[in-house]
Amino acid sequence: MQQESKVKLIKYGVCFAVEALIAFFVIWSKGFFTESAAVNLQILADAFFVAGAFMTLFAGMLFVSGEGALIGIGFVLRNVVLAFIPMGRAKHEKYVDYRARKLSEAHKRDNSSIFVTGLLFLVTGIILTVIWYVKFYNK
């Protein structure tokens, strides 16, 4: 049990570090320390929102991909490549067989750390936007 919680903590730490890095790049690109307090709060809100939205959408794509929704695209791309390879048609298999093989090879992974930290950053960005709106908008 101890090892399992340690691995989970490392996953959350890595996700948090990646999102903090994304937020830092957004802050750096907008020149955080050169503006007024209102603009700085807006930049912080943007940074947290962008990092959170990116990671939440990435977690969604991982979920959709893990459920087999993108297998059809892989099947089509594989057949396009095989059409240009000499004797590539000999390796052709039906979509039903291809899908069954891919689903049997798929490994279910726990991507909840990506989703949870993404939502945390996203909600923080929304809260900062609301604070900016209440304190500084139209004043």
Is the CB of residue 92 less than 8 Å from the CB of residue 79? yes
Query: Does residue 102 sit within a domain?
Result: no
Is the CB of residue 77 less than 8 Å from the CB of residue 111? no
pTM for this prediction: 0.79
Structure tokens at 38: 């209102």
Query: Does residue 70 sit within a domain?
Result: no
DSSP line for 54-85: HHHHHHHHHHHHHTTTTHHHHHHHHHHHHHHS
Query: Does residue 5 sit within a domain?
Result: yes
In this predicted model, what pLDDT tens digit does every residue of 21-49 receive, in sequence order?
999 999 999 887 777 888 899 999 999 99
Determine the structural domain holding residue 17 and report its residue range: 1-30+37-57+111-139
Total domain count, the chain: 1
Handedness of CA 51, 12, 123, 110 (dihedral sign): positive
Please give the average per-residue pLDDT across 75-80, as a whole number.
86
Query: Does residue 77 sit within a domain?
Result: no
> Where residue 138 falls among pLDDT bands split at 50, 70, 90?
confident
How high is the pLDDT of residue 129?
A: 94
Cβ-proximal residues to 19 (8 Å cutoff; 6+ apart), any chain? 51, 52, 54, 55, 117, 118, 121
How high is the pLDDT of residue 116?
A: 95
